[in-house]
A and B are shown apart, each in its own frame.
Chain A
Amino acid sequence: MHSFGYRANAILTFSVTALAFICAIASLSDNFSNQNPSAEIQILNINRFKKQSYENDEVSLTLDITADLESLFTWNTKQVFAFVAAEYETPKNSLNQVSLWDAIIPDKEHAKFRIQTSNKYRFIDQGHNLRGKEFNLTLHWHVMPKTGKMFADKIVMPGYSLPDAYK
């Protein structure tokens, strides 16, 4: 009853159980945090709008993104992955989501920012539906915790549109 084997087994089992319990509690505590992030996006310029030779429409634009995601950070947050996606509908597709820009925010100090950038990823449609198209720009964020459940949410900003003719 008091051999090394039994003692080692008891210590190991107890420490693993205690660690699992602490991780679960840490994850649960995230549910109680108050979150009110805010964001604003402006399209500064449509740089290029063309049809890739006989194929799909492509747009290149410059965005001005302002966001305050400080309230998303809790003590159990490892990083926040934020990205801006253009979302629109076409006759063929009921939903298109194209990510234009993303960033990894490692801590609270970097969570309030304003940047001006051209789109990091190519905005390409499946088809030629983008002329005069109205779309939403949505800022999504995914909170990656130190342990436990990941959660995500978004702010939808409607009312953007593309020009009626190629440029």
Chain B
Amino acid sequence: MGWIGETVDSIKSIKIRQLLTQAITLGMIVTSALIIWKCLMCVTGTESPVVVVLSGSMEPGFKRGDILFLHMTTEPIRAGEIVVFNVDGRDIPIVHRAIKVHERENTGHVDVLTKGDNNDVDDIGLYADGQFWLHRHHIMGRAVGFLPYVGWVTIIMSEKPIIKYILIGALGLLVITSKD
């Protein structure tokens, strides 16, 4: 129990200037993380350069908890590409494969039908009522890379928010009580 006494002592002996310096350092760390995230958004051309796979509809290729790196270019969408799209009215993006593509002459407007590899039917049931095709503005990006298991951290933190609070609380405590 000696370290509780030490912790209390160290909190009591904190000087204002040191505290401010630590707060600024913390702020710098958070801000640089944000800057890196925004740069990634610019480079990859999509609003969410990294997504976590939430469902098993693309197994065995992508399991729940894997993360996907997305990239969006102005290249036309072609069959076989794994696309991430938002359906009007739903906020969770879906990661499935394009199985049918019809591209209009001249305008480049494209109709896309998608299907999850592990699903038996195509995604018409997932689209909005009366919608039979996806269009370019629904598609947020193409999956170009993949890392297994790393996404579990995000899934655990969003499904059990208590863990998020414990983690941030512990980090905060560590920052305050460190003598650096």
Contact = CB atoms under 8 A, between A and B. Distances in A.
B147 interface: yes
B61 A79 contact: yes
B104 interface: yes
A45 to B, nearest CB: 22
A150 B99 contact: no
A147 B148 contact: yes
B75 interface: no
Given A81-B61, A99-B99, A144-B146, A126 B111 contact: yes
A144 B146 CA distance: 8
Contact of B146 (A95, A140, A148): A148
Given A99-B79, A121-B99, A144-B61, A150 B104 contact: no
Size band of the A side of the interface?
20 to 34
B101 A96 contact: yes
Contacts of A93: 102-105
Given A81-B61, A144-B61, A152-B80, A97 B144 contact: no
Nearest to A104: B117
B174 A96 contact: no
A146 interface: yes
B150 to A, nearest CB: 9
B107 to A, nearest CB: 10
Interface in B51-66: 60-62
Contacts of B106: 94
A94 B105 contact: yes
Contacts of A152: 80-81
Nearest to B109: A93
Interface string B73-90: 000101111100000000
A149 interface: yes
The 9 tightest CB contacts between A and B, nearest first, are A97-B79, A99-B99, A97-B101, A94-B105, A95-B103, A144-B61, A140-B80, A149-B145, A93-B102
Given A97-B79, A97-B102, 18 more contacts: A5-B178, A81-B97, A92-B104, A92-B105, A93-B105, A95-B103, A98-B79, A99-B79, A99-B100, A102-B99, A104-B60, A104-B61, A126-B111, A144-B61, A144-B62, A150-B144, A152-B81, A154-B80
